[in-house]
Structure 1
Amino acid sequence: MSTVTATFRFYEELNDFLAPSLRRHECTCVCARAATAKHMIEALGVPHTEVELILVNGESVGFDHVLEDGDRVAVYPKFEALDVTPLLRVRPEPLRTIRFVADAHLGGLAHLLRLVGFDTLYDNHYADDEIEAIAATEDRIVLSRDRELLKRRTITHGCYVRALKPQAQLREICDRLDLGHSIKAFRLCLTCNSPLRAMEKAEAFGRVPEGVFDRQARFATCDVCKRIFWEGSHWHRMCSLVESLRPAGENR
């Protein structure tokens, strides 16, 4: 026999990646002999970076599990409210430090992630191969709206971004990865991702508009791109966004 048949059931938001006829119910699929769980999950449209737990016949398995005829496969997304620590996760450990690389379609999100303090690489000229290499060598989470990019073999941590607008995308990522407690706003340059440093007011003289220099008391600068930041109207709007992302009752 050259093929095996397995029954799949995908849960919660993983259904968004499936063909409409396969969503929210069991589906029986013909698999090539020696096909792995990862191969079939991605063949059905779900990037492996979206998967947290796979159960085959009730037993937790890894991506490399070879499917056998008659297997029943349940595939789950990342859990937020359910403790599954006794079970085998499909990747060994979470990344120790939260750092991102965003694809060419997510420039607005990249800027907002920097605003709230998360190291985020972005260049609208990055090719998929470059993003894959950066993620592997720097242990970065790939953010993308391209599911085929997230299926690449060496990308172990990634998020498919569903929202279309940057602020909604930021809320989505913060909620999904529970980043509210880790926000350290206004410490990175929005342009080049480098650390900001506080500067003496006198140092800003002649480098900012005269009215801004007269009205503002505090300035920060990026020593890489030389931009200067101050607490203007845009800063106040961004403060409101930052506070809305923090858990209720948490001090700034």
Structure 2
Amino acid sequence: MKEHMAQFRFYEELNDFLPPDQRKEAVNYSFNGCPAIKDPIEAMGVPHTEVELIIVNGESVGFEYRLRVGDRVAVYPVCESLDVLPLVRLRPEPLRRTAFVLDVHLGKLARILRLLGFDVLYRNDFNDEEIIRISLAEHRIILTRDRPMLFNKIITHAHWLHSTDAEEQAVEVLQRFDLFGRVQMFHRCPVCNGFVQPVEKEHVLDRLEPLTKKYYDLFFKCSDCGKIYWQGTHYDRILQRLERIRRS
């Protein structure tokens, strides 16, 4: 079978998935037959979950487009803050109810996102199959550092985190999904993801240390796990950290 050639160019953070010599360059791709364009994109190392827009010869196409000889392909990353309509959107719709499920390596990020008020499912014993099942069943966006998982064809909404630092990851998530305006600090429990609500001091007196009883009057309680919170000496430090993330 005769081998054909097309040219691909990947933009912005999609280059992180490519070998160094292919980044920010037009790359020739050899192929046989007429493969769906999703296949060469993933063969070159870019998960379909990271792609939002494909332009072939100046026209937007879907993943099902069949690659042809001489095609010039531009591939752009997902940006939930950018509405690409009336161009071809590659997944049904953005998840405007923004909820996440995180892989086992992202415990620190889970805590930060919960402190920022976002709905985050995390357990340190989740396997890939559970994460994907939860994502599809509950319409949650997968956040992961595990590239191979993102090549699973049934995943619709996911993001591979570029940074290994939890604070930088939080900023990356806020930017990627345009969430700065949705921050509601201290509305969720960082331990279990439940909602945190005010509670009368007399209702939790038996759970407080003597000095806490003496110096603090404003308390909050998680509706799920029952953990008690107050604005202790650690509060200002956490608040400064969250404000630093939000200002980014």
Same-fold status (TM-score > 0.5):
yes
2:136 and 2:4 map into 1 onto residues whose CA distance is: 33
Q: Percent identity?
A: 46
Number of equivalenced pairs:
248
Q: Equivalents in 2 of 1:212, 1:33: separation in Å?
A: 72
> 1:137: Cα distance to partner?
0.7
Q: Which residue of 2 aligns with 1:169?
A: 169
Separation (CA, whole Å) in 1 of partners of 2:65 and 2:77: 18
**TM-score, normalisation: structure 2:** 0.93
Instruction: Report the Cα offset of residue 105 of structure 1.
Output: 0.6
Distance 1:124 1:34 in 2: 42
**Aligned-residue offset at 1:56:** 1.1
Query: C-alpha separation between the residues in 1 aligned to 2:74 and 2:181?
Result: 32
* Superposition deviation, residue 84 in structure 1: 3.8
- Do the aligned partners of 2:81 and 2:178 also contact (CA within 8 Å) in 1? no
CA positional deviation for 1:130 = 0.7
Q: 2:67: which partner in 1?
A: 67
Partner in structure 2 of residue 232 of structure 1: 232
* Alignment of 1:87 onto 2:87: yes
In the alignment, what sits opposite 1:46?
A: 46
Q: For residues 120 and 2 of structure 1, do their structure 2 counterparts lie closer, same or farther at Cα, with a shift above 3 Å needed?
A: farther
In 2, Cα distance between equivalents of 1:194 and 1:49: 28
**1:111 lines up with 2:149 in the alignment:** no
- Whether 2:20 is the aligned partner of 1:20: answer yes
Q: Which amino acid aligns with 2:142?
A: V
Task: Tell me the equivalent position of 1:217.
Answer: 217
Q: Where does residue 5 of structure 1 map in the other structure?
A: 5
The alpha-carbon deviation at position 54 of structure 1 amounts to 0.4
How far did residue 85 of structure 1 move? 3.3
Once residues 36 and 208 of structure 1 are traced to their aligned partners in structure 2, the CA distance between those partners, rounded to angstroms, is 62
Gaps of at least 5 residues in structure 2 are: none
Cα contact 1:51–1:75 (8 A) shared by 2: yes
* Alpha-carbon shift at residue 145 of structure 1 (Å): 0.8
Matched residue type, 2:240:
S
Distance 1:135-1:83 versus aligned 2 partners, 3 A rule? closer
CA RMSD of aligned residues (A): 2.0
**Residue 45 of structure 2 corresponds to residue 29 of structure 1:** no
1:36–1:63 CA contact under 8 A, matched in 2 = yes
Specify the code of the residue in structure 2 equivalent to 1:194: G
Structure 1 residue 247: Cα displacement: 6.1
> CA offsets per residue over residues 62-93 of structure 1, 9 Å max, x none?
11212122211110113589764332221231
- Give 2:130's aligned amino acid: E
Q: 1:218 offset after TM fit, Å?
A: 1.1
Instruction: Deviation per CA, 1:184-230: give whole Å up to 9, x if none.
Output: 11111111111122110111212122111211111111233221111
Please identify, of 193-202 and 30-39, the stretch whose mean Cα deviation from structure 2 is larger: 30-39
Tell me the distance in 2 between the aligned counterparts of 1:239 and 1:30: 53
Q: How far apart, CA to CA, are the structure 2 residues paired with 1:55 and 1:138?
A: 31
TM-score, structure 1 as length reference: 0.91
Q: Which residue of 1 aligns with 2:155?
A: 155
